[in-house]
Amino acid sequence: KGKVNAELVRMGMAWLYRRYGNSTAMQGFEDYAKENKIGLWADKNTIAPWDWRKGKR
């Protein structure tokens, strides 16, 4: 399970939810995806799921 989650974050296909996953490695994977504009980070106007839900309430 952990390997799949890490790969999804590294590929820019998932957000790191820091409230529950505060791993240095996972943060590095997300930083890598952001810096290289991979996956969801390719769009400069991405909205975090938790921010999107706040706007819909």
pLDDT of residue 19: 76
Q: Please, are residues 10 and 32 in contact by the beta-carbon 8 Å criterion?
A: yes
State which of 3-7, 30-34, 44-48, 50-54 shows the largest mean pLDDT: 30-34
Length of the chain counted residue by residue: 57
| 38-57 confidence digits (pLDDT tens) | 999 999 999 999 899 888 75
| pLDDT, mean of residues 21-39 | 91
Question: Which of helix, strand or coil describes residue 27?
Answer: helix
